[in-house]
Amino acid sequence: MYEADQADRKWETPPTEEQWEGVSRRDEERRDRVLEIVRAGDLKAADDYYHAAMVLQHGKGSEDIMISHILATVAGFKGHDGGRWLSAASLDRYLHRTEAPQRLGTQYIRVEPEDPWSMGEYADWLPDSIRAEYGVPPLADQAAYAEKLNSR
Q: How far apart are CA 76 and CA 70, in angstroms?
A: 10
**Blockwise average pLDDT, block size 10, the chain, 152 residues:** 89 83 92 96 98 92 95 97 96 94 94 88 92 95 93 84
3-state secondary structure of 102: strand
Side chain identity at residue 141, one-letter code: D
CA dihedral of residues 138, 141, 146, 148 (deg, nearest 10): -160
Domains and CATH numbers, the chain: 2-150 (1.25.40)
pLDDT of residue 114: 86
Q: Using one digit for the tens of pLDDT, what is the confidence trace for 35-47?
A: 999 999 999 999 9
- Name the pTM for this structure: 0.87
DSSP letter for each residue of 46-98: HHHHHHHHHHHHTSSSHHHHHHHHHHHHHHHHTT-HHHHHHHHHHHHHHHHHT
